[in-house]
Amino acid sequence: MHNQDFKYYSLEIKKKIIHAAFNCGESCHIGGALSMVDFMSVLYGSVINVNSQNLSDPKRDIFILSKGHCVLGYFATLNHFGLISDKIFNTFQKNGSDLIAHPVKNIELGMESSNGSLGQGLSFALGQALGMRYEKENHRHVYVLMGDGECNEGAVWESAASAAEFKVTNLTAIVDVNFFRNDGENSFFETIENFEKIWNSFGWNTTIVDGHNHDEILNALIKSKKKNIKPSVILLRTVKGKGVSFMENNNEWHHNRITQKIYEEIINEWENFDQNR
């Protein structure tokens, strides 16, 4: 897999996010959906073992989206890689759709868990990983994507401590560290390095990467699957709203509506970028 492939995947997924957010006619969680795209491109483009022709394959890996409000980034990824059809994807946040503002477990659409309340994904992923170990399914792996804001929840750290105690090595946690949450800047920790020390103190292997550098993400994911006695966490240093200039580090786009005028501005920006690169 070449870096250029990941760049293509990321751009196409971002386009899908913007088109779906505009077409649904409602406010969406856009900023956090965009910040996770580069990671999702690598995970689904090269790492995770899933079969789009058999989504209930008992040999499959599991992905859990803990920061569920950013589900549009998840849906767009599943659509790009053929797990969700265009017909279904185009129903996002419309009456009667299976694709609403948070994930609802639906194995046939590639969604392994429901999510509404933040801070619950790691405990769910831990249970999945332990179940695989007890069933001696050593070939399978569990990935859970969290936001740095939801790491303010105590349940995250109860699960982190338990995962280290049980030496759950078939579990990789990934944290999208964009330093924002719904109500503004996230001041739970001052720097990503301090955040890393917290995870280390709970007994995890930790890696900090540029969350928009595909090579760094890929190397970290490969490293996390190597057998050791600790669970692994990858801290992605990201930009909220990545890919749209006026959305980047602008928390107004945590949850907002894309109007016709804004949609045209984004399309023009991307067209100019393509012409000038």
Q: What is the pLDDT of residues 203-257, one digit of tens each?
A: 999 999 999 999 999 999 999 988 678 999 999 999 999 999 999 999 999 999 9
pLDDT class of 275 with cuts at 50, 70, 90: very low
Q: Which residues contact 214 (CB under 8 A, 6 or more apart)?
A: 3, 6, 7, 10, 38, 41, 42
pLDDT tens column, 13-49: 999 999 999 999 999 999 999 999 999 999 999 999 9
* pLDDT > 50? residue 195: yes
Residue 123: φ, ψ to 5°: -65, -40
Q: Does domain 3-276 have CATH number 3.40.50.970?
A: yes
Structure tokens given for 225: 């699957």
**β partners of residue 206:** 233
- The C-alpha atoms of residue 249 and residue 231 are separated, in whole angstroms, by 30
Question: pTM for this one?
Answer: 0.94
Say yes or no to pLDDT of 277 above 50.
no
Q: What share of the chain is helix, strand, coil (3-state, %, to 5)?
A: 45, 15, 40
Place of tokens 């803990």: 66
Q: Would you state the pLDDT for residue 1? A: 59
User: d(Cα 80, Cα 123) in Å, to the nearest integer?
Assistant: 28
